[in-house]
Structure 1
């Protein structure tokens, strides 16, 4: 297991303290609110050029201005990106020029009722996994160019302790045959985020591209605004059990920054990080409340990762940038 000097109390600014990221070009999805803002702010504070990839470009522009004011870094840009709409994903990838050194797949959504993307896919899986899969594939050449420049390029995908509630259910990804459970739908999308990092590293390490997954921990953000009462009750029970304690948004962004810039993760991928270090692996029957800082075997399973990649490739191929 890979350890670092950071833990659950560390902040994103702690992780970048003393680092000079001048020349690093980064994209952070969902960076107009929550953890994404602090991820982008800390990268900018260390000198990186940061593009906020967001649905609401007005909110993105306000965030970019705030980050520039607080860090003095004027190289904070905004790009339109709706991960639920693969036409938007393709357009973002096609607009990108030059090398890319860091892609942070931070954006996520939770819904309380069954909804679908324009392609007809269950919305949480479409947004949280398939949109990021297509974005990463569309930016592959830019990441490879970034790796040639700096020796590596990194992808960071945000998962969640929620991944422990469900594997990827390949036989019914979009809840066509089972009753819709928004918690299970979110959970399988978070497992998919981890499996993506496993297979992306296997396929792209030869290009100098390495992907890791992080669990930011319990952070109160706008992501919870659409929780059902059942989800709220479950979260309250998890907190009461001690399964997690709430972090500040800066603390929530810390593990993302560890995966993004820490020297311990140079040219290594396929890891699941929690509280600033690689998490321990637990069996698929493990109880969430007892192992909230672990990662289930199904989220690191190389066979499931290969299967998910092939399926994702088939689904998104007609829409990806060429």
Structure 2
């Protein structure tokens, strides 16, 4: 059985969200962006609003969300911006967001995240990065599944990272209860989970015409790196390869916006993209491409079941 050809587009690492969405009309469509009040979440939401969508910023800091919404309204002229409280580490908060949602949902961008945090646990004892980056988004997306199915042709975008190359999901000890805690392994595991979610959700939801894809937005200087020193950030850029440069937030949002809106991705799901194109397999020693374990359908099914069981505890 031959593998499906990789999806290519005219866009590159330098493309911006505005360029990717140019000519696309989202009038009458509704989008939710988690973490929509900071970093690439702002520019993702701005691109959707600029194309005419009704956009909900799902944020922990509602005041920051309102300020962002006001800025987006001013720059796009679109007044269809809403702000809703969402704390992905709090299952009651996720359930409340889902309960308040009414009607179809055309685009869900699981964008919010925490990176390389010191060892922290939720009240349930879950490791913070896995709880935020994967479990919270898993609960949100599965809770909103009826709204996505009602939209007809909905798209879910799972923001991962090249850091997924640092670790598979270690099912034997996801929450670092027995192994020593390592902030980068924890982050990498959570980002692998974001890709595996896309693989399994696309399979499960294909009958509802919902497609789910994952992406690496690239290196962007945002509040996401608040736990990382300048020295470590410099090392990370060097490790990314010769000539690697920080992207602007507008460039960092481009791949998310592409997956959410481009007709070039019609019916494509369960894939991993970077720099606005589908990524090939990772070559050892490089910081690009996708790890085979992140696209493993057996691991994806196992993660789905483990997530359901964890959330039911």
Range class of TM-score, shorter chain: over 0.9
What residue in structure 2 maps to residue 203 of structure 1? 204
**Secondary structure at the residue paired with 2:156?**
strand
**Secondary structure at the residue paired with 1:212?**
strand
Q: Which runs of 5+ in 2 are unaligned?
A: 1-5
Q: Distance in 2 between matches of 1:157 and 1:231?
A: 26
Give how far 1:112 is off: 3.3
What residue in structure 2 maps to residue 121 of structure 1? 126
Describe how 1:16-95 pairs up with structure 2 within 5 A.
16-95=21-100
Q: Distance in 1 between matches of 2:232 and 2:117?
A: 9
Describe how 1:171-320 pairs up with structure 2 within 5 A.
171-227=172-228, 231-232=232-233, 234-239=235-240, 241-242=241-242, 244-282=244-282, 286-287=284-285, 290=286, 292-317=287-312
What residue in structure 1 maps to residue 159 of structure 2? 158
Question: 1:148-207, CA deviations, whole angstroms, 9 ceiling, x for partnerless residues?
Answer: xxxx00000000000001000000101111111000000000000000000000000101
Give how far 1:233 is off: 5.7
Q: Distance in 2 between matches of 1:213 and 1:231?
A: 26
Give how far 1:242 is off: 2.5
Q: Distance in 2 between matches of 1:209 and 1:122?
A: 29
Give how far 1:315 is off: 1.1
Question: Contact 1:112/1:228 (CA < 8 Å) preserved in 2?
Answer: no
Give how far 1:229 is off: 7.2
Q: Distance in 2 between matches of 1:161 and 1:260?
A: 20
Q: Distance in 1 between matches of 2:183 and 2:232?
A: 9
Give how far 1:230 is off: 7.7
Question: Contact 2:238/2:244 (CA < 8 Å) preserved in 1?
Answer: no
Give how far 1:269 is off: 0.3
Question: Contact 2:163/2:187 (CA < 8 Å) preserved in 1?
Answer: yes
**Secondary structure at the residue paired with 1:79?**
strand
Number of matched residues?
308
Q: Distance in 2 between matches of 1:141 and 1:179?
A: 39
Q: Tell me whether 105-114 or 43-52 shows the greater mean CA deviation.
A: 105-114
- Structure 1 length normalisation: TM-score? 0.93
- Stretches of 4+ moved more than 4 A in 1? 228-231
| 1:135 corresponds to 2:135 | no
- Structure 2 length normalisation: TM-score? 0.95
Cα RMSD (Å): 1.4
Q: Distance in 1 between matches of 2:55 and 2:243?
A: 34
